[in-house]
């Protein structure tokens, strides 16, 4: 595709100077200024003219232009009201873009998919600040929003955490939650010099393709995630102690030991050694116990 005009640093600087824009630390703003990375994101998200795309955090509209050229419709949600007039300017030639000034956590995305996409699965694309990555991604999955995939730019360490398996130091509640809902795939690593201003850490683009149905059969998903959180809240403790100390669970020490034994796990096992299947088996055993 011929690159739209915002993908280079010179144009980005012109737009920021024209509006005397000041970066807001509280919003974790880092704008992408590399056309190769922009192409990679749009290609990884597999956007076609059939697609309704929800973009979270469009910034000055750099990626929005790319998405609008590829998709049927783009709905961009930006929390910083200072950016709204800039977006109205940079996106004025794109008739298939709607901009909403709102916190994405307050948007009824299910209703949006219903109204704009006939309830069919939507594609989500975002460049997310570190502090809000997990709540946004988990909110999208847990809210039972019809989603085909989420392609996001996140801190590299977070992307790694989403895709690792048991026994690694990055493995934790986020890995399990993401893998329960989706298939994670790291598309590209993105160095700090691809952004303005430069972040202190590396980033990565990760695509989460929603599972048609979860990879494990679990009777009580909420209970399974409470068990998972309890297992990683105190990483160095054994699974039994983690579950016993959790304010979210009300099983006795004896019940916990019995369930761990019934599942065939050694008594000193730690949560970080368990697979998603193992956590599902634990949760189902506790449901039986009730």
Name the band, by pLDDT with cuts 50, 70 and 90, for residue 11.
confident
Torsion angles phi and psi, residue 275, rounded to 5: -80, 175
Q: How far apart are CA 202 and CA 176, in angstroms?
A: 23
Asked if residue 197 has a cis previous peptide bond (ω within 30° of 0), the answer is yes
**Among candidates 235, 94, 239, 223, which has minimal Cα distance to 172?**
235
Name the band, by pLDDT with cuts 50, 70 and 90, for residue 257.
very high
pLDDT of 171 reads: 96
- Beta 147-155 vs 203-210: how paired, if at all? antiparallel
Residue carrying the six token digits 């880092």: 30
Say whether 165 sits in a helix, a strand or coil.
Answer: coil
Is 264 within any annotated ligand binding site? Answer: no
Do residues 286 and 223 make contact, with C-beta atoms less than 8 angstroms apart? Answer: yes
Contacts of 198 (CB under 8 A, 6+ apart): 30, 192
Do residues 124 and 150 make contact, with C-beta atoms less than 8 angstroms apart? Answer: yes
DSSP secondary structure code for residue 265 in this structure? -
- Mean pLDDT of the region 44-48: 96
Q: How far apart are CA 80 and CA 61, in angstroms?
A: 13
Is 103 within any annotated ligand binding site? Answer: yes
* Neighbouring C-beta atoms of residue 143, cutoff 10 Å: 12
Is 268 within any annotated ligand binding site? Answer: no
Torsion angles phi and psi, residue 74, rounded to 5: -125, 130
- Mean pLDDT of the region 140-166: 94
Residue carrying the six token digits 């690159």: 3
- Mean pLDDT of the region 249-269: 95
pLDDT of 3 reads: 44
Residue carrying the six token digits 């790694």: 160
**Among candidates 157, 190, 153, which has minimal Cα distance to 36?**
190
Is 78 within any annotated ligand binding site? Answer: yes
Torsion angles phi and psi, residue 108, rounded to 5: -85, 90
Angle at 137 between CA 134 and CA 141, to 5 degrees: 130
- Mean pLDDT of the region 43-56: 97
Name the band, by pLDDT with cuts 50, 70 and 90, for residue 47.
very high
**Among candidates 133, 142, 152, which has minimal Cα distance to 110?**
142
- Look at the alpha carbons of 203, 205, 210, 215 in this order and tell me if their dihedral is positive or negative: negative
Report field, pTM of the whole predicted structure over 0.75: yes
**Among candidates 221, 273, 228, 275, which has minimal Cα distance to 248?**
228
């Amino acid at each position: 595709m011929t690159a739209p005009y915002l993908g280079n640093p010179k144009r980005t600087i012109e737009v920021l100077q024209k509006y005397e824009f000041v970066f807001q630390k509280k919003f974790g703003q880092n704008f992408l200024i590399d056309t190769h990375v922009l192409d990679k994101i749009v290609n990884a998200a597999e956007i076609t003219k059939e697609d309704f795309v929800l973009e979270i955090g469009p910034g000055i509209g750099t990626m929005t232009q790319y998405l609008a050229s590829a998709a049927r419709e783009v709905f961009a949600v930006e929390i910083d009201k200072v950016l709204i007039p800039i977006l109205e300017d940079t996106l004025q030639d794109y008739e298939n873009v709607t901009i909403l000034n709102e916190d994405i956590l307050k948007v009824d995305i299910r209703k949006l998919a219903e109204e704009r996409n006939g309830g069919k699965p939507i594609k989500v694309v975002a460049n997310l600040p570190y502090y809000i990555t997990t709540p946004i991604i988990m909110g999208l999955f847990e809210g039972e929003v019809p989603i085909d995939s989420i392609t996001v730019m996140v801190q590299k360490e977070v992307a790694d955490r989403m895709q690792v398996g048991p026994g690694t130091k990055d493995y934790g509640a986020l890995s399990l939650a993401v893998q329960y809902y989706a298939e994670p795939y790291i598309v590209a690593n993105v160095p700090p010099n691809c952004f303005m201003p430069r972040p202190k850490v590396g980033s990565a683009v990760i695509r989460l393709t929603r599972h048609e149905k979860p990879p494990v059969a679990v009777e009580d998903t909420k209970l399974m995630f409470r068990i998972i959180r309890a297992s990683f809240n105190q990483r160095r403790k054994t699974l039994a102690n983690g579950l016993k100390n959790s304010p979210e669970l009300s099983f006795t020490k004896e019940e916990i030991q019995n369930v761990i034994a019934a599942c065939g796990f050694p008594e000193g096992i730690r949560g970080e050694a368990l697979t998603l299947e193992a956590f599902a088996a634990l949760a189902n055993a506790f449901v039986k116990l009730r």
